[in-house]
Chain A
Amino acid sequence: MITGRSIEQGCTKEHAKITDKYMASVTLCEMHPEDMKRLNLKDGDNIKIMTDVGSVVVKVRRSRRIRDQGIIFIPFGPWVNAILPSETGGTGMPPLKGFRVRVEPTSEPVLSLKDLIVKSYGDKG
């Protein structure tokens, strides 16, 4: 999995973090068309991305910008960060690009920001 910036995420990342527009921009995973075919997925379907840290549900979209099968891209945001490892290998920088994940189709919904925070970090009230 590669994480990174997208123009849609950039347009909302500073002043609209709790809006649906921001959520839509950072819960959209780009996938190679062949991988989507193999997993029997259509544009807009939900997928569950899993790591040793946890799992998160996002939407999927085919992208020809991804040229190799087995690679997915998702914009930076709280959804993808909820499944990232925190070890920095002595550099201060956690591994935010190029780490292994498992992906499967799911019927579970994409959580809203508040639900995601409560699920991942507990409810402060």
Chain B
Amino acid sequence: MQTIYGVVCPFCGCCCDDIEIIVEDNQIYDVRNACSLGASKFMEYHRNRNTRPLIRRDGKLVETSLDEAIERAADILAGASYPLLYGWSNTSCEAVRVGLEIAEEVGGIIDNTTTVCHGPSILAIQEVGLPACTLGQIRHRADLIIYWGSNPWSAHPRHIERYTALAEGRFQRAAWKRYLSKLILETARKKRYRAASLAFKSEVAERLLKEEEEERWFLPPPEERKLVVVDVRKTRSADLADIFIKVRPNEDYEVLQALRALIRDEDLDVDEVAGVPVEDLEKLADLMVNARFGILFFGLGLTMSEGRSRNIEAAIKLTRDLNKYTKFLIMPMRGHFNVTGANVVFTWQTGYPYAVDFSHGYPRYNPGETSAVDVLYRGDVDATLVIASDPVSSFPRKAVENLVRRPLIVIDPCLSSTALMADVVIPSAFVGIEAEGTTYRMDHVPLPLKKVVEPPPGVLPDEEILRRILHRVRERKGKAS
């Protein structure tokens, strides 16, 4: 058996680079250091695998050769007048670069999954900038960590352990012991509730539980790290937090602006904002101002709810205000492992991070007009190539209706909902497991993805598949070199 060290995890934007993979006979036997999400990908990637190219004939998806699938894909793209090329966040930067060449060649729209995750964050950043840093700086220095509209326990399980409250930093100690005590107390509380449920009527048990659940502010000593979670649900991440603030859905903007007012020493003439007592907001504002190095991580709770980019703008302005008093930074919690890389490569090549339209012969960018959901919803596009994504699972209904009505090409290692509705399905190698490449961590640090096993025979990496499609498209347009 061989152990491969320093493997970068190709799952979420944390891109943990301390993964160890044990391999024998081209099979992964074990994975160390990964979270449940990363481990499930490394250990189970080969199940439900599609290794044969498929093409739709007489309404049915049937097996075909790779060459025929690529020819058919090139026919569709070269013959379309306004195709959409969508996905890109679960593949390498090298593949994204070739995708941009195809988009330019066919005069289509190219968009990445940013459009339905942190698209509003990018719009806000373009308006007001971003006081940013790397995750390493946060690990070593941050003494106040806030997760707002983000549940790292479910979406980025090692984020707290590697980069924030549970990480041992050079200038900040890990808060493991405190959180373990908290979890033990929480478990005991749940046991008491179960016992009360058995002993009393459910109303009594509920009342006892409610009394115990009253959020209390037990702040650690000033020199210790503090973890705050702001969310509409009490998530598992909130269970870990020193302070949990529950906001009413769609009212984050009000809370952010209220905090800005409090930081400027203005009084609020109300008792509560979005369900949060002003007294609690005052305490949080004090914590923020008195932090030596604060960081606000925000997630889809801000980008997908009412206000969208305005929520992010308010959050960035809050950190900007705080920098009058202390060091305070802000960072989006990026989801797919290379969504940041997709933004970076798009920007290098076109000047814009997502939703780029080449139909005029030069790149145009106008999210809301040139973004994937909008062009699909309006029925503008006449063909789509989807790579490393599953929009049938992640897009709203009307957009999907138009997506599947037109010719659809899918490049993906597995059969997805989108692949089931495609006209051409090309299997690809798993980037970061069966193919090398470059990815960008959520803090814009580039990392090399390793190939730890060989792909199945005949299955190519995304980059190679795209190069072949590009070559065939250029042949059809009389530009092949």
Using a CB–CB cutoff of 8 Å, the interface residues on chain A facing chain B are: 2-7, 10-19, 33, 53-54, 64-68, 71, 73, 76-78, 81-98, 113-114, 117, 120-122, 124-125
Contacts and interface: CB of A to CB of B under 8 A. Distances in A.
12 contacts: A7-B37, A10-B155, A13-B393, A15-B414, A64-B234, A66-B233, A66-B234, A67-B246, A76-B393, A81-B400, A92-B116, A98-B232
A54 B397 contact: yes
Given A2-B232, A17-B417, A98-B249, A87 B377 contact: yes
Contacts of A81: 393-397, 400
Nearest to A53: B397
Given A14-B90, A19-B48, A68-B248, A86 B377 contact: yes
Contacts of A19: 48
A123 to B, nearest CB: 8
Contact of A124 (B56, B151, B399): B56
Interface of B: 11, 36-37, 40-41, 44-45, 47-49, 56, 58-61, 90, 115-116, 119-120, 123, 151, 153-155, 157, 206, 209, 213, 232-236, 246, 248-250, 275, 300-301, 303-306, 308-309, 355, 367-368, 371-374, 376-377, 390, 392-401, 404, 413-417, 420-421
A17 B415 contact: yes
B234 A12 contact: no
Contact of A17 (B37, B154, B155, B390): B390
Contacts of B48: 15-19
Nearest to B401: A121
Contacts of B206: 33
* Shortest 3 CB-CB contacts between residues of A and residues of B: A125-B59, A92-B371, A90-B368
B336 to A, nearest CB: 9
Nearest to B430: A15
Nearest to A94: B396
A90 B459 CA distance: 39
Contact of A96 (B45, B116, B246): B116
A15 to B, nearest CB: 5
A125 B56 contact: yes
Which one of B157, B213, B397 has the greatest number of beta carbons of chain A within 10 Å?
B397
A124 B421 contact: yes
Contacts of B421: 117, 121, 124
Contact of B414 (A3, A6, A17, A117): A17
Contacts of B59: 124-125
Given A2-B249, A15-B414, A16-B47, A91 B368 contact: yes
Contact of A93 (B44, B120, B401): B120
B306 to A, nearest CB: 6
Contact of B120 (A68, A82, A91): A91
B397 A82 contact: yes
A26 B115 CA distance: 22
Given A91-B308, A94-B373, A97-B300, A18 B420 contact: yes
Given A92-B371, A92-B373, A125-B58, 15 more contacts: A4-B151, A10-B154, A12-B40, A15-B413, A65-B235, A81-B394, A86-B376, A91-B309, A91-B368, A92-B116, A93-B115, A97-B250, A113-B417, A117-B420, A124-B59
